[in-house]
Structure 1
């Protein structure tokens, strides 16, 4: 249940960030800026997940379940964010919706990827 709460908190934080400041970095046609927000998601997701796994002592085999539980609340809530995009994010233009939706898919994919442990088998 704590994993789901953590996921909800991450979703809420990102939604507030995009609602308040999305117009600064979700600008259609600004290729380098858009690329930068995709790249910036990598360390942000890393900081939001790996320390969480460490503090909670979530083992490698349990990480995939934790990652799904973290990603799922936001994925479900973002269905509404996308449907009601103009109301939830009045500061963003409709032209930024594809970039926003793509970034969401990217961020949730990164969260899910943190659930996989890389184990080396040295024989």
Structure 2
């Protein structure tokens, strides 16, 4: 029964991740809260699952011309460099601290998205980005 639950969790994370909404934001709380997996293990499971999910999602978004490599380079270079710091922090910080930090991230992200959703009718005016 646990394997079926994990399969469903993976499917849900794949859908959310494929939309570019952060499948890990869904997968990690499911793994820790429902399945009782430790925070550090849940984060590693998420990283392993993220790799193939991102390849499939990126292929779809490339085909639909939704990827702007000129913007991506500005994000990707520092992200790759600072990923090492994030990975080292997992080694240093306890699972309890990581869980709290992740919870704070989810709260801040949710508040930001809710604020944006409440500003209905307003869209991005910058012609460099794809408008919804």
Higher relative contact order (CA 8 A, sep 6+): 1
TM-score, normalised via structure 2 length:
0.36
Which is higher, the Rg of structure 1 or of structure 2?
A: 2
